[in-house]
A and B are shown apart, each in its own frame.
Chain A
């Protein structure tokens, strides 16, 4: 008995123990004991149950990561042909002749479609095949035929002597002026016209004032003004820079230089040129220049020419 239990009555305690002997029913005992065993037996299961899901969870994680990698991979690495923007190479056949040493397998439309489909299936049996095929079919350039895709063109450009150089991808489709061949053709076509206009202007100015020297003939001016043609050729050799600011500035410089070179020579300058040619021993050129001078000024040529050149006959 505890020290604080001095109030206890032993007789009362004994009487209570004798009187209070109630016990729970045996069915209740069995139920509680069964529940206790179930709890113990079922206890370890939750600890092991998740392990059964580990392989499934691991497989799911691997699948998700794989799908994520495929999704994050740049599409051109998966299907290089299929994901190429189609309009870019549409400019090539318009500017360049299709003459080529290698026969193009895409010369006809249906054949190219079939070849593209077959090629796409072989290269990328992924789900991007169908959109790629649709992109090829939807492209007007592919319907026009004879249009290699940009990677093919780039690959062809890597081959020596291929007629289609790789084009910059930002070339604006449908604008022939921006293509190098069209640009050079325009410039070649515009050069004689400009010379003709300049010649006419010079003739009128000479007619108005006899003090101003007449412009030389157009053929001669073309000879004496090679810088403009060189500028055009330079522009032709730089197709990719046709839209660049540097190229535009270079073209502007060439346009400014051309009138200066093709400016009609004054009488004195022309005479100095003839004398210099003679001095340098270029008698043929000097004779040609002298003949041109005489053809230009005709009756007044003898009055304008100095005495040493006046006697010289072409």
Chain B
């Protein structure tokens, strides 16, 4: 069992409150996932010539030194903002060069997300601790996904937590369990997709990354996933402009969606949506099995 929450703001006036709204939804899903919590947040897109990465370090880290070293090597402006065990780096350089430099010079760092607007934060522990440590109430943004994990398939670590990056400005959160992930992982590694853990949800993220790389649109990739992924799932996929939702054809794993003039939200349970302003008068429905839902600007 896990908890998924997602919110997309139609009313920009609410952008400063995004983190606060997300925090309330996330904490409400603690019963469904007390092992770890994570979010993907979309805000402050950087110019096309720049890129934004979220990095994670285990233990205390000299982020200031990294910033200086990166700026000198890339010969570019680099800004860095530390948030608990994570740091968001904005560099006026192509994303490939930053990623290559980081993986060759700083393999101790994990790249949680890359793109222009996405930021991913995730950590072991109760959602309420995550909300406190990552100061969620202070975070703004246009839309966000969140996940509370109750591990069933693999270990409880930060690396095994959700969301998983699936490419530039894309991420995935999952409630369920995949039964053919070992076979898929081997296939994806043969295709050159970097899968770092034995977690089944990371395989789903890797699958989407592979299909998008092969030229599928997100909608095509999700429809193909219905054929290739065996198991139970409710997925929420964050995109630069919004988010998508997909449930497997059996649809045992719950999902509920709601919309008002101000927002669109999805969650594993209504009680998470009940935290949002105006929820009692929202248009509420349950997404159909094997159907791709997408929201965006």
| Chain A bound to chain B | no
